[in-house]
Amino acid sequence: EVGGRCVAVGCYRHVPAPRRSSLQGFTELLLLAVETEYERQGNGRAIVAVILRDSWRAGSARLLVVSTGHAFWKKPSLQLSELGSPTDIEQPVFAPWSAGISIVGREVSESAADELDAICRAAAAPRRGRAGRPGGGAGRSEG
Closest CA relative to residue 10, chosen from 39, 43, 38: 43
- Residues 110 and 56: their CA atoms lie apart, in Å, by 6
pLDDT tens figures, 10-57: 999 998 887 877 678 899 998 889 998 988 888 888 889 889 889 988
Beta-bridged to residue 15, according to DSSP, are 26
User: What pLDDT score was predicted for residue 125?
Assistant: 65
- Residues 104 and 22: their CA atoms lie apart, in Å, by 21
Options 3.50.30.30, 3.40.50.460, 3.30.1490.20, 3.40.630.30; CATH for 8-124 is 3.40.630.30
Residues in the chain: 143
pLDDT tens figures, 59-90: 899 899 888 888 888 888 888 888 877 666 77
Establish how many alpha carbons lie within 13 A of residue 99's alpha carbon, considering only the half-sphere containing its beta carbon.
0
User: What pLDDT score was predicted for residue 10?
Assistant: 92
Taking the domains of the chain in order of start, what are their residue ranges? 8-124
